[in-house]
Amino acid sequence: MNGSRIAAVGHYQPAKVLTNEDLAGMVDTSDEWIRSRVGITTRHIAGPDEPVDELAAHAAAKALAAAGLTPADIDLVLVATSTAVDRSPNTGARVASRLGVPRAATMDLNVVCAGFTHALATADHAVRAGGASRALVVGADKMSDVTDWSDRTTCVLVGDGAGAAVVEAADEPGIGPVLWGSVPEMGNAVRIEGTPPRFAQEGQSVYRWATTQLPPIARRACERAGLEPADLAAVVLHQANLRIIEPLAEKIGAVNAVVARDVTESGNTSAASIPLALSKLVEQGAVATGDPVLLFGFGGNLSYAGQVVRCP
Protein backbone atom coordinates (compact mmCIF):
# COMPACT_ATOMS: atom_id res chain seq x y z
CA MET A 1 0.00 0.00 0.00
CA ASN A 2 1.29 3.45 -0.93
CA GLY A 3 -0.94 5.58 1.23
CA SER A 4 -4.06 5.84 3.30
CA ARG A 5 -7.53 7.22 2.75
CA ILE A 6 -10.59 8.32 4.67
CA ALA A 7 -13.08 5.50 4.21
CA ALA A 8 -16.01 7.19 5.96
CA VAL A 9 -16.94 10.00 8.33
CA GLY A 10 -19.57 10.59 11.01
CA HIS A 11 -20.60 13.26 13.48
CA TYR A 12 -22.64 13.79 16.62
CA GLN A 13 -24.07 16.81 18.45
CA PRO A 14 -26.01 16.93 21.73
CA ALA A 15 -29.74 17.51 21.50
CA LYS A 16 -29.82 20.74 23.49
CA VAL A 17 -29.59 23.86 21.30
CA LEU A 18 -28.58 27.20 22.80
CA THR A 19 -29.68 30.19 20.71
CA ASN A 20 -28.42 33.75 20.67
CA GLU A 21 -31.68 34.78 22.31
CA ASP A 22 -31.00 32.31 25.12
CA LEU A 23 -27.58 33.85 25.65
CA ALA A 24 -29.08 37.35 25.69
CA GLY A 25 -30.98 36.25 28.78
CA MET A 26 -27.73 35.15 30.47
CA VAL A 27 -25.24 37.94 29.66
CA ASP A 28 -25.25 41.44 28.20
CA THR A 29 -25.44 40.54 24.51
CA SER A 30 -27.92 40.29 21.65
CA ASP A 31 -28.57 38.23 18.54
CA GLU A 32 -27.41 41.15 16.35
CA TRP A 33 -24.19 41.61 18.37
CA ILE A 34 -23.27 37.93 18.08
CA ARG A 35 -24.17 37.55 14.39
CA SER A 36 -22.28 40.69 13.36
CA ARG A 37 -19.10 39.76 15.24
CA VAL A 38 -18.80 36.00 14.90
CA GLY A 39 -21.61 34.86 12.59
CA ILE A 40 -23.00 32.29 15.03
CA THR A 41 -26.74 31.76 15.50
CA THR A 42 -26.95 28.53 17.52
CA ARG A 43 -24.73 26.00 19.26
CA HIS A 44 -25.29 22.55 20.81
CA ILE A 45 -24.58 22.05 24.52
CA ALA A 46 -24.02 18.70 26.20
CA GLY A 47 -25.61 17.92 29.54
CA PRO A 48 -23.75 17.14 32.77
CA ASP A 49 -24.25 13.41 32.12
CA GLU A 50 -22.70 13.57 28.62
CA PRO A 51 -18.89 13.37 28.96
CA VAL A 52 -16.64 14.09 26.03
CA ASP A 53 -15.87 10.40 25.44
CA GLU A 54 -19.59 9.74 24.97
CA LEU A 55 -19.79 12.44 22.29
CA ALA A 56 -16.70 10.94 20.64
CA ALA A 57 -18.08 7.39 20.73
CA HIS A 58 -21.35 8.41 19.07
CA ALA A 59 -19.49 10.05 16.17
CA ALA A 60 -17.05 7.16 15.88
CA ALA A 61 -19.88 4.61 15.78
CA LYS A 62 -21.49 6.50 12.89
CA ALA A 63 -18.20 6.58 10.96
CA LEU A 64 -17.71 2.85 11.52
CA ALA A 65 -21.23 2.09 10.30
CA ALA A 66 -20.75 4.28 7.21
CA ALA A 67 -17.53 2.40 6.42
CA GLY A 68 -19.28 -0.96 6.80
CA LEU A 69 -16.82 -2.03 9.49
CA THR A 70 -17.04 -3.49 12.98
CA PRO A 71 -15.11 -2.40 16.08
CA ALA A 72 -12.91 -5.49 15.70
CA ASP A 73 -11.59 -4.08 12.40
CA ILE A 74 -9.94 -1.14 14.20
CA ASP A 75 -6.44 -1.35 15.65
CA LEU A 76 -5.76 2.32 16.44
CA VAL A 77 -8.00 4.86 18.16
CA LEU A 78 -6.86 8.50 18.20
CA VAL A 79 -8.95 11.16 19.92
CA ALA A 80 -8.15 14.84 19.56
CA THR A 81 -9.52 16.69 22.57
CA SER A 82 -8.54 19.37 25.07
CA THR A 83 -11.56 19.05 27.36
CA ALA A 84 -11.26 15.55 28.84
CA VAL A 85 -11.80 15.76 32.60
CA ASP A 86 -9.72 12.72 33.55
CA ARG A 87 -6.10 11.99 32.75
CA SER A 88 -6.45 8.21 32.82
CA PRO A 89 -7.99 6.22 31.26
CA ASN A 90 -7.46 8.47 28.28
CA THR A 91 -10.40 9.40 26.07
CA GLY A 92 -9.25 7.05 23.32
CA ALA A 93 -9.37 4.10 25.73
CA ARG A 94 -12.84 5.08 26.91
CA VAL A 95 -14.08 5.39 23.34
CA ALA A 96 -12.63 1.96 22.53
CA SER A 97 -14.36 0.54 25.61
CA ARG A 98 -17.72 2.11 24.72
CA LEU A 99 -17.54 0.71 21.17
CA GLY A 100 -16.06 -2.68 22.08
CA VAL A 101 -12.83 -2.20 20.12
CA PRO A 102 -10.49 -5.03 21.21
CA ARG A 103 -6.70 -4.70 21.62
CA ALA A 104 -6.36 -1.36 19.80
CA ALA A 105 -3.65 1.15 20.57
CA THR A 106 -5.40 4.17 22.08
CA MET A 107 -4.18 7.70 22.63
CA ASP A 108 -5.26 11.32 22.96
CA LEU A 109 -3.80 14.33 21.18
CA ASN A 110 -4.21 17.78 22.69
CA VAL A 111 -3.59 20.36 20.00
CA VAL A 112 -6.86 22.14 20.77
CA CYS A 113 -8.49 23.53 17.60
CA ALA A 114 -5.89 21.96 15.28
CA GLY A 115 -6.21 18.60 17.03
CA PHE A 116 -8.15 16.69 14.39
CA THR A 117 -5.82 17.52 11.50
CA HIS A 118 -2.83 16.60 13.68
CA ALA A 119 -4.53 13.31 14.60
CA LEU A 120 -5.44 12.60 10.98
CA ALA A 121 -1.81 13.10 9.94
CA THR A 122 -0.66 10.82 12.76
CA ALA A 123 -3.08 8.08 11.64
CA ASP A 124 -1.94 8.49 8.03
CA HIS A 125 1.69 8.10 9.10
CA ALA A 126 0.89 5.06 11.26
CA VAL A 127 -1.02 3.28 8.49
CA ARG A 128 1.56 4.01 5.81
CA ALA A 129 4.36 2.84 8.12
CA GLY A 130 2.54 -0.41 8.83
CA GLY A 131 1.85 0.36 12.47
CA ALA A 132 -1.91 0.14 11.97
CA SER A 133 -4.28 -1.18 9.35
CA ARG A 134 -7.41 0.81 10.20
CA ALA A 135 -7.70 3.76 12.56
CA LEU A 136 -10.55 5.65 14.15
CA VAL A 137 -9.70 9.34 14.26
CA VAL A 138 -12.01 11.48 16.37
CA GLY A 139 -12.17 15.17 17.19
CA ALA A 140 -14.35 15.77 20.25
CA ASP A 141 -14.70 18.63 22.68
CA LYS A 142 -17.12 19.70 25.38
CA MET A 143 -16.28 23.38 25.41
CA SER A 144 -19.22 24.14 27.69
CA ASP A 145 -17.25 22.54 30.53
CA VAL A 146 -14.43 25.08 30.27
CA THR A 147 -16.48 28.20 29.53
CA ASP A 148 -17.17 31.13 31.82
CA TRP A 149 -20.85 31.66 31.05
CA SER A 150 -20.72 35.17 32.52
CA ASP A 151 -18.07 36.30 30.00
CA ARG A 152 -19.86 37.53 26.89
CA THR A 153 -16.68 37.65 24.83
CA THR A 154 -16.17 33.88 25.01
CA CYS A 155 -19.47 32.24 25.96
CA VAL A 156 -21.10 33.29 22.68
CA LEU A 157 -18.47 31.36 20.72
CA VAL A 158 -18.53 27.81 21.96
CA GLY A 159 -20.43 24.60 21.34
CA ASP A 160 -20.06 20.88 22.01
CA GLY A 161 -19.80 18.01 19.54
CA ALA A 162 -17.70 15.36 17.85
CA GLY A 163 -16.69 14.25 14.39
CA ALA A 164 -14.88 11.09 13.32
CA ALA A 165 -13.16 9.46 10.36
CA VAL A 166 -12.12 5.91 9.57
CA VAL A 167 -8.65 5.83 8.03
CA GLU A 168 -7.42 2.74 6.18
CA ALA A 169 -4.61 1.70 3.85
CA ALA A 170 -5.06 2.47 0.17
CA ASP A 171 -3.27 1.78 -3.11
CA GLU A 172 -3.38 5.49 -3.97
CA PRO A 173 -2.87 8.18 -1.32
CA GLY A 174 -6.15 9.76 -0.27
CA ILE A 175 -4.63 11.85 2.51
CA GLY A 176 -2.06 14.37 1.32
CA PRO A 177 1.15 15.33 3.10
CA VAL A 178 0.53 17.36 6.24
CA LEU A 179 1.89 20.86 6.69
CA TRP A 180 2.01 21.58 10.42
CA GLY A 181 3.71 23.87 12.88
CA SER A 182 3.14 26.42 15.62
CA VAL A 183 4.03 29.85 16.96
CA PRO A 184 5.00 28.99 20.57
CA GLU A 185 5.84 32.56 21.53
CA MET A 186 2.20 33.48 20.88
CA GLY A 187 0.76 30.38 22.54
CA ASN A 188 -0.95 32.38 25.29
CA ALA A 189 -3.27 33.98 22.74
CA VAL A 190 -5.63 31.01 23.20
CA ARG A 191 -5.79 29.34 26.59
CA ILE A 192 -7.65 26.70 28.58
CA GLU A 193 -6.03 26.91 31.98
CA GLY A 194 -6.60 27.33 35.70
CA THR A 195 -8.60 25.45 38.32
CA PRO A 196 -11.30 25.02 37.25
CA PRO A 197 -10.00 25.32 33.68
CA ARG A 198 -11.43 28.22 31.67
CA PHE A 199 -11.23 29.13 28.00
CA ALA A 200 -9.85 32.59 27.21
CA GLN A 201 -8.31 34.21 24.16
CA GLU A 202 -6.89 37.41 22.74
CA GLY A 203 -9.41 37.71 19.94
CA GLN A 204 -7.79 40.45 17.89
CA SER A 205 -4.36 38.76 17.96
CA VAL A 206 -5.87 35.48 16.80
CA TYR A 207 -7.87 37.23 14.06
CA ARG A 208 -4.80 39.05 12.68
CA TRP A 209 -2.67 35.90 12.80
CA ALA A 210 -5.30 33.72 11.12
CA THR A 211 -6.15 36.14 8.32
CA THR A 212 -2.60 37.28 7.52
CA GLN A 213 -0.18 34.48 8.39
CA LEU A 214 -2.21 31.37 7.59
CA PRO A 215 -3.23 31.83 3.91
CA PRO A 216 0.25 31.14 2.48
CA ILE A 217 0.61 28.13 4.79
CA ALA A 218 -2.69 26.71 3.57
CA ARG A 219 -1.63 27.26 -0.04
CA ARG A 220 1.59 25.33 0.66
CA ALA A 221 -0.51 22.42 1.93
CA CYS A 222 -2.19 22.38 -1.47
CA GLU A 223 1.20 22.47 -3.19
CA ARG A 224 2.33 19.44 -1.19
CA ALA A 225 -0.69 17.58 -2.54
CA GLY A 226 0.18 18.64 -6.09
CA LEU A 227 -2.87 20.87 -6.45
CA GLU A 228 -3.66 24.50 -7.00
CA PRO A 229 -6.20 26.08 -4.63
CA ALA A 230 -8.53 26.53 -7.61
CA ASP A 231 -8.61 22.71 -7.96
CA LEU A 232 -10.22 22.24 -4.55
CA ALA A 233 -13.85 21.13 -4.38
CA ALA A 234 -14.22 22.20 -0.75
CA VAL A 235 -12.39 23.99 2.04
CA VAL A 236 -13.02 22.96 5.64
CA LEU A 237 -11.29 25.35 8.01
CA HIS A 238 -11.45 25.27 11.79
CA GLN A 239 -14.88 26.71 12.54
CA ALA A 240 -13.72 29.50 14.84
CA ASN A 241 -15.55 32.57 13.66
CA LEU A 242 -17.23 33.40 10.35
CA ARG A 243 -15.21 36.64 10.22
CA ILE A 244 -12.06 34.50 10.17
CA ILE A 245 -13.30 31.70 7.91
CA GLU A 246 -14.53 33.85 5.02
CA PRO A 247 -11.46 36.11 4.54
CA LEU A 248 -9.09 33.18 5.09
CA ALA A 249 -10.87 31.06 2.47
CA GLU A 250 -10.80 33.98 0.03
CA LYS A 251 -7.09 34.60 0.55
CA ILE A 252 -6.27 30.94 0.00
CA GLY A 253 -7.62 31.34 -3.54
CA ALA A 254 -10.01 28.38 -3.55
CA VAL A 255 -12.33 30.16 -5.97
CA ASN A 256 -14.27 27.05 -7.03
CA ALA A 257 -14.63 25.46 -3.62
CA VAL A 258 -17.55 25.00 -1.27
CA VAL A 259 -16.55 26.69 1.98
CA ALA A 260 -17.80 25.01 5.16
CA ARG A 261 -19.69 27.46 7.37
CA ASP A 262 -20.97 25.09 10.04
CA VAL A 263 -19.86 27.58 12.70
CA THR A 264 -23.14 29.41 12.15
CA GLU A 265 -25.18 26.55 13.62
CA SER A 266 -22.59 24.75 15.76
CA GLY A 267 -20.34 27.47 17.17
CA ASN A 268 -16.66 26.80 17.86
CA THR A 269 -16.38 23.13 18.82
CA SER A 270 -12.57 23.16 18.90
CA ALA A 271 -11.11 19.79 17.74
CA ALA A 272 -14.56 18.62 16.66
CA SER A 273 -15.16 21.46 14.24
CA ILE A 274 -13.39 20.15 11.12
CA PRO A 275 -14.65 16.54 11.12
CA LEU A 276 -18.11 17.77 12.15
CA ALA A 277 -18.25 20.21 9.23
CA LEU A 278 -16.77 17.68 6.77
CA SER A 279 -19.27 15.01 7.80
CA LYS A 280 -22.14 17.42 7.26
CA LEU A 281 -20.88 18.34 3.77
CA VAL A 282 -20.72 14.64 2.89
CA GLU A 283 -24.17 14.00 4.37
CA GLN A 284 -25.63 16.91 2.41
CA GLY A 285 -24.04 15.77 -0.86
CA ALA A 286 -22.17 19.06 -1.18
CA VAL A 287 -18.99 17.17 -2.13
CA ALA A 288 -18.64 13.97 -4.13
CA THR A 289 -16.56 10.88 -3.47
CA GLY A 290 -12.99 11.50 -4.59
CA ASP A 291 -13.25 15.29 -4.54
CA PRO A 292 -10.17 17.09 -3.19
CA VAL A 293 -10.91 18.86 0.09
CA LEU A 294 -8.54 21.05 2.09
CA LEU A 295 -8.74 20.49 5.84
CA PHE A 296 -6.98 23.19 7.84
CA GLY A 297 -6.96 23.43 11.62
CA PHE A 298 -5.56 26.33 13.62
CA GLY A 299 -5.87 27.95 17.02
CA GLY A 300 -4.82 26.79 20.49
CA ASN A 301 -1.05 26.94 21.10
CA LEU A 302 -1.23 28.97 17.89
CA SER A 303 -0.71 25.63 16.18
CA TYR A 304 -1.81 24.74 12.67
CA ALA A 305 -2.03 21.61 10.52
CA GLY A 306 -3.50 21.14 7.09
CA GLN A 307 -3.74 18.51 4.38
CA VAL A 308 -5.71 17.83 1.24
CA VAL A 309 -7.87 14.70 1.43
CA ARG A 310 -10.04 12.87 -1.04
CA CYS A 311 -13.65 12.94 0.05
CA PRO A 312 -14.99 9.53 1.13
Candidate list 11, 113, 118, 155, residue with the active-site label = 113
What number of residues does the chain have? Answer: 312
Q: Three-state SS for 227? A: coil
Q: What are the backbone angles phi and psi of residue 51, rounded to the nearest 5°?
A: -70, 165
- Reading the chain (312 residues) residue by residue, the pLDDT tens digits are 689 999 999 999 999 999 999 999 999 999 999 999 999 999 999 999 999 999 999 999 999 999 999 999 999 999 999 999 999 999 999 999 999 999 999 999 999 999 999 999 999 999 999 999 999 999 999 999 999 999 999 999 999 999 999 999 999 999 999 999 999 999 999 999 999 999 999 989 999 999 999 999 999 999 999 999 999 999 999 999 999 999 999 999 999 999 999 999 999 999 999 999 999 999 999 999 999 999 999 998 899 999 999 999
Among 240, 179, 180, CA closest to 205:
240
Candidate list 20, 90, 241, 268, residue with the active-site label = 268
With residue 181 as reference, give the H or E element that holds it: strand 179-182
Q: Is 246 left (phi over 0), alpha (psi -120 to 50) or beta?
A: alpha
How far apart (Å, rounded) are the C-alpha atoms in residues 30 and 61?
Answer: 37
Residue 113 among the catalytic residues:
yes
Which residues lie closer than 8 Å to 173 by C-beta, 6 or more apart? 2, 3, 4, 5
Strand pairing partners for 175?
309
Candidate list 58, 238, 301, 311, residue with the active-site label = 238
Residue 222 among the catalytic residues:
no
Residue 238 among the catalytic residues:
yes
The amino acid present at 17, given as its one-letter code, is V
Which residues lie closer than 8 Å to 271 by C-beta, 6 or more apart? 80, 81, 82, 111, 112, 113, 114, 115, 116, 119, 139, 140, 141, 297
